[in-house]
Amino acid sequence: MRPLTDTETQTLFTKLANYTGRSLTHLLTDTTSTNDRHVFRIQNSRVYYVRSSLANLATSIARPNLLSLGTCLGKFTKTGKFRLHITALDVIAPHARYKVWVKPNGEMPFLYGGNVVKAHVGRWSEDAPEHQGVVVCGMDDTPLGFGVTARSTAEVKRLEPTGVTCFRQADIGEYLRDEDTLFAT
């Protein structure tokens, strides 16, 4: 595992800031139980969010022998873009700036890979702009996945019930649908 380069760090932070906003700094200074800070490391184009002490211990393991360490946030594509994986949901959800709460009748269509339509929206964060990253939650505040808003909050109020309000990026149903390829190298 190696630290990210400046361009990789900028690409990663731009993607994470789309979902977390200014609370991105809490990811770096998150000291919940110990005084150990978290760092980002890359291994085989996958970015991991790991405690600093564990990352230092992992340097004694040869790169070909180390498969994973910490929480996988996503991976860099061949073109240099960063794609978030569903495994990043536990890291993003507590720090999310905008959220969409889905009614119980809309959870299953979302978990099967569908977008969120207006008829399934229970609540919506105020003043969410168009094309902004959001965390999709159930009505009991359980994070179900994340996506990108299709319309702003003001436009959604005038939308018909079958209109798409949020494009799905990832959902927890991927653990079952893509279990063969989700953690493959």
pTM, rounded to two decimals: 0.85
User: CA triplet 134, 179, 20: central angle to 5 degrees?
Assistant: 20
Fold for 2-92, please state it.
Nuclear Transport Factor 2; Chain: A, (3.10.450)
Residue 21's CB: how many other CB atoms inside 10 A? 14
Paired with 3 in beta bridges are: 41
Q: How confident is the model at residue 160 (pLDDT cuts 50, 70, 90)?
A: very high
Q: Environment class of residue 48 by beta-carbon count within 10 Å: exposed (0-12), middle (13-18) or buried (19+)?
A: buried
Q: Quote the pLDDT of residue 28.
A: 73
In one-letter notation, the amino acid at residue 79 is T
pLDDT tens digits along 108-148: 999 999 999 999 999 998 888 999 999 999 999 999 999 99
* CA-based radius of gyration for the chain: 17
Fold for 98-176, please state it.
2.30.130
Domain ranges of the chain: 2-92, 98-176
pLDDT tens digits along 69-117: 889 999 999 999 999 999 999 999 998 999 999 999 999 999 999 999 9
Q: Quote the pLDDT of residue 180.
A: 76
Percent of the chain topping pLDDT 90: 56
Does 11 have pLDDT greater than 90? yes
Does 34 have pLDDT greater than 80? no
Identical fold between 2-92 and 98-176? no
CA dist 34 and 45 (Å) reads 28
